[in-house]
Chain A
Amino acid sequence: MRNDNFYIFSYAAVVCLVCSILLSLAATQLQPLQAENVKLDIRKNIMIALGIIKADEKFTREELNQKFTAVKELVVDLEGNILEGVKPENLTEKDLDTKLPIFQVLADGTVQGYAFPIVGRGLWSTLKGYLALEADTATVKGLTFYQHGETPGLGAEIEQSWFTNNFKAKKVRDNLGNLVGVTVVKGKATDSGRPLDHVVDGISGATITADGVTKMFKVGLTKYDPYFERVRQGGR
């Protein structure tokens, strides 16, 4: 076997070339499928948050897209003005700092709920999910997480329905109308000694992830508050 430098360098070059061609082929060929999966997954999560479908129900691609027609997509700016002609799916990561997507579910022409994306930090990863509020903009309608890298069995439990269902019907505003969000406590909510309207059970072994969830509620709700303030005043 040859062991001179020229042979070694050309061998390495060929290996690199073959591997990179293979990988770029796979990446480009599978990309449309993956992008479609991600888009569908987001739509599914929005609809779960809004209560249109249940988390454990299975639907085909067409059924999901069909059901999604009940959802009205719009984009607002930080002051709560609706930006005409802007679609949520065309927003880039950078746009999301100033342009906020909102998904309304309509029935007989009246708004039944609002869903919007929330982002926060867990223990290992960025948590991304959707929070839906009832038409009164103060009661939680639903919550889902669609992206995170938390430990399976511990932090990853936040995406399970036993955890997210606890948020349903909780109030994000107190009686005076102040924004308080929903806090994930350590242990049982009933043992925390706080008003049950604003707390949910924690996950043992996942306190930092849970704190991240508490925080992302507050941050997300504060960001969207100008819009919801207008909804409360104008009934849009």
Chain B
Amino acid sequence: MSHHIVAVKNLRHVYPDGTEALRDVSFRIHHGESVAIIGANGAGKSTLLLHLNGYLAPTSGEIQIGDFPLNKGTLPQIRRTVGMVFQDPDDQLFMPTVYDDVAFGPLNLGLSGGDLDRCVIEALERVGARHLVEKAPYHLSGGEKRRVAVATVLSMSPDILVLDEPTNGLDPYSRRQLIALLKEFRHTRIFTSHDLDMVLDLCERTIVLKDGEVRADGPTLEIFQDRELLEECRLEKPLSLQGCPVCGTRR
């Protein structure tokens, strides 16, 4: 089952203006794992994610997705394998209707007619957004937008899902709904987030980035118990692990 593996080796990235966003990042994510990449603002999370589907090319180092090393030749295959959900759903949903948006990827993969319809409807049903199919994206609520954004990626049946700040800006109910939805997926999942409670809910493993390097990599619960590590990386224990403000007891 090597085809769902994500392997990053000594990745370094320097932006044209000289900023060194990633110094030396290495990790390996296996099939079916659910991994969170956390870190302070500017730690290099977004830069790292943009490498995973080849939007940015490494300055040095290697990336392997499944059986393929990431390079120009394997790019189309890798973009099919890695489904990426962006932070702002308004960037992801650029077509006039939800249908067109979910169909965008499959159309580019060469689907048409009944196959296309089936694929779009299936993806929408999986995120519970079947009823939104003819709506325009700007008439959707924040939670609906996010779920449709996930559907636009599911419709290409990727093996690996990459989500950038999925719960950002959602109300508590929509956030719950989304987390429940993401829990059901059996894909290899990679998240970045500042919502550490969500990380605790969804990911068994966490990678902490600091100044472009991997500061820690291990089971989520262990990392969240390490107060010094969290403070050093400008992070905080998830609220659900902190003491109750009323009765003062710790979980």
Tell me if chain B binds chain A. Answer: no
Residues of A within 8 A of B (CB): none
